[in-house]
Amino acid sequence: METRLLEYIDGRLKEKEQREMEKHLAACSGCNVRVNEFRSVSSLLDELPQIEPSAAFDVRVRARIAAEPVKQDWWAWLGAAPRILVAASMLLLATVWVGHRQPDGTNMANSNGEETQIMQDQDLPVLENYDVLANFEPLTELSQPVSADDSSDQEM
Amino acid sequence: MLDVKAGDEQSFALLLHRYRTPLVNFLYRMVRNREQAEDLAQEVFIRVYRARAEYVPSAKFTTWLFRIATNLALNSIRDTRHQRMEVSLDAPVTVDSEEGDERPLDVAEKNPNIEEHLVQEAQREMIRHAIDKLPEKQRAAVLLHKYQELDYGEISKILSCSESALKSLLFRAYETLRVELAPLVALRAKS
């Protein structure tokens, strides 16, 4: 009941609660005294003067707000600059188109290059020694290698 | 606030105009330093401005505003607890004060009786001191309840507690104030 005394003083109790409180206060001198003292305290608090913000207050607030960074909305910015939007779209399309085309040509070039490289790699030892082998005397004295066709002829 | 969210600068100016005085007063009573209170109030408005795009009207604007203010005030009190000024800045306003907008001066002007004014000011200082002695959360609850006239639901959201916890917080605060201000209450009862 005690904590409801303030609600009673503030007039924030419902009608039924208000009647119950009045009934209680009529019977309880302690609560009755407290209600009167709370009312006195409340009127004492009313005596404190109000202060007015200084004349510079509004100016300072406005200055601080003016100094606040403006938030940039990218979509709004693009909407406000349609030429940039069109140019950016074109650039994006061109990039996608070029990117799409390039892999085929590159792949072909790569595959041809790889084959050539492999052939070169296979012949490399022979090519490296070609001059030596061409002028290597013992080899010139040997009979020419017999091909498969020749051997079949001989058998005949 | 929804207009501010939509980018209407004029609506922000209206918000500033409407809430600057209650906000500065709340913060001033929390931190007891005028300059600091204005700095904190500025920070509240800047945070509101920065967060305007994310604002969802699920709670009342005042709840949101005072929640930011309360958190800033509580953090500031914690940060400066060791170096808090003991000199009250809303204690008697001097004639050469640059501010000159505090009401005690107005009262003095209306009431030529200097002795009466001094007594009145001493009593106000006693009230300020009693509020000052409250634990921070109780102080915030009393200030929001008494001066901003927010309902219990709003205050409990601002202080991130349940309504029943808030009611007992307020009750304890008023109990402390009742004891602290008992001499003043007795004096008023006699006169």
Is B154 in CB contact (< 8 Å) with chain A?
A: no
Q: Does A49 touch chain B (CB under 8 A)?
A: yes
* Distance from C-alpha of B98 to C-alpha of B95, rounded to nearest angstrom: 9
The pLDDT score that the predictor gives to residue A99 is 83
pLDDT of residue B189: 80
**Residues whose CB falls within 8 Å of the CB of residue B72, separated by 6 or more in sequence, listed in order:** B27, B40, B43, B44
Count chain A–chain B contacts defined by CB atoms under 8 A: 105
Q: How far apart are CA A85 and CA A65, in angstroms?
A: 31
Q: How confident is the model at residue B158 (pLDDT cuts 50, 70, 90)?
A: very high
Which residues 104-133 of B are in CB contact (within 8 Å) with A? 104, 107, 123-124, 127-128, 131
pLDDT value for B98: 38
Residue A72 has pLDDT above 70, yes or no: no
Q: What's the rounded mean pLDDT across residues A28-56?
A: 94
Note the pLDDT of residue B99.
40
Q: Of A22-26, A132-136, B24-28, which range is least confident?
A: A132-136
Residue B183 in contact with residue A37, Cβ under 8 Å? no
- Determine the distance in angstroms separating the CA of B2 from the nearest CA of chain A, rounded to an integer: 18
Smallest CA-to-CA distance from B44 within A68, A61, A50 is with A61
Domains of chain B: 1-83 (1.10.1740.10), 102-191 (1.10.10.10)
Q: What is the CB neighbour count within 10 angstroms for residue B68?
A: 20
A88 pLDDT band (50/70/90 cuts)? confident
Task: Report the alpha-carbon distance of residue B179 to residue B55 in Å, rounded.
Answer: 42
3-state secondary structure of B96: coil
- For residue A61, the chain B residues in CB contact (below 8 A) are 16, 20, 42, 45-46
Longest dimension (CA), chain B: 57
* Residue numbers in A near B45 (CB within 8 A): 61, 65
Q: Which tokens go with A35?
A: 């209600």
Q: How many CA atoms does the CB half-sphere of A25 hold within 13 Å?
A: 17
Ranked by mean pLDDT, which of A38-47, A142-151, B5-14 comes out on top?
A38-47
ipTM for the assembly? 0.78
As given in the structure block, the two tokens for residue A86 are 């069109």
Contact A54, B41 (CB under 8 A): no
DSSP B82: G
Whether A58 and B20 lie within 8 Å, measured CB to CB? yes
CA distance linking residue A50 with residue B51, whole number of Å = 29
pLDDT tens-digit readout, B55-113: 777 678 899 999 999 999 999 998 887 665 555 545 554 433 434 344 444 444 555 68
Round the average pLDDT of chain B to a whole number and report it: 83
User: SS3 of A133, please?
Assistant: helix
Letter for the amino acid at A98?
V
Domain ranges of chain A: 1-46, 75-136
Using CA coordinates, name the residue in chain B closest to A11. Answer: B151
Scan for tokens 């950016």, then name that residue: A88
Separation of alpha carbons B186 and B191, rounded Å: 9
In this complex, do A52 and B107 lie within 8 Å of one another by their Cβ atoms? no
Q: Position A67: which residue type?
A: A
Distance CA A44, CA B112 (A): 22
Query: In whole angstroms, what is the distance from residue A57 CA to residue B97 CA?
Result: 17
> Both tokens of residue A147?
């091909």
Do residues B111 and B122 touch, judged by C-beta distance below 8 A?
Answer: no
Q: What is the pLDDT of residue B115?
A: 86
User: Are the beta carbons of B21 and A4 separated by less than 8 Å?
Assistant: no
Cβ neighbours for A12, distance < 8 A, ≥ 6 positions apart: B151, B152
Among B137, B162, B138, B139, residue whose Cα is nearest residue B152: B162
Q: What percent of chain B has pLDDT over 90?
A: 58
Picking from B109, B76, B105, the residue whose alpha carbon sits closest to that of residue B91 is: B105
